[in-house]
């Protein structure tokens, strides 16, 4: 049991979050910067940090008056969060702070300062340190997308790679079921708080105690499912994986009824922007989805078994050239 759990939960969830209507709020990066300062640079614990004086917060950490007020108000929640921490502990849920050696290194490398302050997990935490792939795709995926998912999950399991998925219908569920069916390991990334997943804990009890399934959430433990949380969860799925496979990217409608590209597309694009290799199932010509669009944007097409369909070897330099801004080429030609 980490005695400082209540402090980490407080830092993660009890500071007012940044938003367009609250531009003075805390971004994840602000919290990460603070952690770097007190933990890595000043080498003090989070408990000691919370017990510093206002002056020290202002002087040594350059916190604004408003941030100091925020921290003081958050501090009021420490006792409440201690009760919560005890409940989590009693239910076998671990709270892994970003400074912990148990925290997923892959997630930290991929998300950098956007890595969540804490992870709530249940299951064997060793799973977070294994090689991993994410299989993502639509909730109402086609039969061929599900077949692709099944193939990739089983291949990954054979190679002792962990399958990361988001516990939604369609591709997510298929990825999990396929990995479990061949005794592979999986991470379920929840679109909700971990304490609202009771039915899942009952269903996957055997897999959890056998060390084959790890359930993970980054949200306040009691938070119920919401579309916003489902969207916010997507980067975590991508972040936890070393390789990303897209089974099917389909459009969906937003709250206003307008058509959007959907979470899979947004997540894959985010991955591409971060320079990550994203494998996308090459669709048949009759399929109506955005897989080809992702391939056009730089994703790597793969066949039903995940084999690359690019005829020439794809190197990292090649990808970086493709993603270089056009202006560099025009400047080059002008100079010529």
321: left (phi over 0), alpha (psi -120 to 50) or beta: alpha
Q: Cα–Cα distances in Å, from 205 out to 69, 211, 219?
A: 43, 10, 22
Which one of 145-153, 155-163, 202-210, 277-285 is the stretch in contact with another protein (CB under 8 A)?
202-210
Name which of 79 and 321 has its Cβ closer to another protein: 79
Binder to another protein among 199, 256, 311, 327 (CB under 8 A)?
199
User: How far apart, in whole angstroms, are the C-alpha atoms of residue 222 and residue 194?
Assistant: 7
Per-residue x/- mask for another protein, residues 119 to 158, rule CB under 8 A?
A: ----xx----------------------------------
**Residue closer to another protein, measured from CB, 68 or 293:** 68
The 275-314 contact track toward another protein, x by CB under 8 A, reads: ----------------------------------------
CA distances from 86 to 9, 39, 78, 123 (A): 12, 24, 12, 17
Q: Does 73 bind another protein (CB under 8 A)?
A: no
| Per CB under 8 A, 80 contacts another protein | yes
Could you write out the three-class secondary structure of 283-300? CCCCCCCCHHHHHHCCCE
Report which of 200, 149, 191 is spatially closest to residue 170, judged by C-alpha positions.
Answer: 149
Cα separation, 94 vs 90, in Å, equals: 9
Q: Are 163 and 132 in contact, with CB atoms under 8 Å apart?
A: yes
User: Contact letters (x/-) for another protein, 159-198, by CB under 8 A?
Assistant: ---------------------------------------x
Residue 60's H or E segment, with its range, is helix 54-61
Residue 209 contacts another protein per CB under 8 A: yes
Give residues in contact with another protein (CB under 8 A). Answer: 1, 3, 5-7, 47, 50-51, 75-76, 78-80, 82-87, 89-92, 123-124, 198-199, 201-202, 205-206, 208-211, 222
């Amino acid at each position: 049991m980490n005695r400082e759990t209540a402090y980490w939960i407080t830092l993660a969830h009890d500071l007012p979050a940044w938003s367009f209507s609250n531009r003075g709020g805390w971004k994840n990066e602000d919290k990460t910067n603070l952690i770097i300062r007190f933990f890595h640079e000043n080498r003090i614990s989070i408990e000691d940090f919370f017990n510093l004086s206002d002056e020290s917060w202002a002087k040594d950490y350059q916190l604004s008056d408003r941030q100091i007020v925020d921290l003081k108000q958050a501090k009021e929640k420490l006792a409440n969060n201690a009760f919560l921490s005890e409940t989590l502990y009693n239910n076998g849920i671990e709270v892994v702070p970003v400074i912990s050696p148990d925290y997923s290194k892959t997630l930290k490398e991929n998300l950098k300062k956007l890595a969540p302050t804490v992870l709530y997990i249940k299951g064997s935490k060793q799973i977070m340190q294994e090689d991993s792939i994410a299989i993502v795709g639509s909730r109402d995926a086609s039969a061929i997308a599900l077949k692709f998912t099944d193939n990739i999950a089983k291949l990954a399991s054979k190679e002792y790679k962990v399958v990361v998925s988001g516990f939604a219908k369609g591709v997510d569920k298929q990825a999990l079921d396929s990995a479990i069916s061949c005794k592979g390991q999986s991470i379920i990334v929840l679109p909700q708080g971990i304490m609202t997943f009771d039915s899942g804990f009952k269903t996957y009890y055997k897999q959890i105690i056998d060390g084959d399934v790890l359930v993970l959430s980054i949200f306040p433990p009691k938070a119920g499912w919401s579309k916003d949380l489902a969207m916010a969860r997507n980067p975590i799925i991508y972040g936890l994986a070393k390789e990303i496979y897209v089974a099917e990217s389909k459009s969906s409608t937003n709250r206003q009824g307008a058509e959007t590209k959907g979470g899979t597309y947004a997540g894959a694009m985010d991955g591409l922007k971060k320079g990550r290799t994203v494998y996308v199932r090459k669709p048949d010509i009759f399929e109506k989805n955005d897989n080809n669009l992702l391939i056009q944007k730089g994703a790597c097409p793969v066949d039903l078994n995940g084999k690359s369909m690019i005829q020439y070897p794809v190197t990292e330099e090649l990808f970086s050239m493709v993603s270089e801004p056009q202006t560099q080429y025009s400047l080059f030609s002008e100079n010529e």
